[in-house]
Amino acid sequence: MRDIDRLKYELAEALKSSEEYLNYKKCKDLLAEKPDIERSVDDMRRQTFELQNSEEFDNSFEAIDDFSRRFEIECSQDVANNFLKAEICLCRMVQEICKTIIEDIDFNLDFLK
């Protein structure tokens, strides 16, 4: 277990020095300078999470279009758009790490399908 503890902290440090994370932090700090936009972006992120994890979400183009229209103004702001892009890049990197680990240790997630 000591090796795993050491490696997880090394991985966290590697992530914190990655281009994706540094860009995310920069964009997050710039967004924090615009509290009104930051609140709107956080609201959008919260609603996105709730929508994606809702049992009623049918993943239809209509539902996605409606949601996108509601937050079109916020996302058109450069500071918001840059933050959201940076967040997606960081999330994808973390997802790839998790995917690699899950696949390599043969962890069964078939029940999620």
Please give the model's pTM, rounded to 2 decimal places. Answer: 0.79
For residue 107, the model assigns a pLDDT of: 84
Tokens of 20: 């994706």
What is the number of other CB atoms lying within 10 angstroms of the CB of residue 89?
Answer: 17
Domain boundaries, the chain: 2-112
* Topology of the domain covering 2-112: YheA-like fold (1.20.1500)
3-state secondary structure of 89: helix
Q: How far apart are CA 95 and CA 75, in angstroms?
A: 23
Per-residue confidence in pLDDT tens, the chain, 113 aa: 789 999 999 999 999 999 999 999 999 999 999 999 999 899 888 888 887 777 665 666 676 677 677 777 666 789 999 999 999 999 999 999 999 998 889 888 788 77
- Dihedral sign for Cα atoms in the order 69, 53, 81, 96: negative
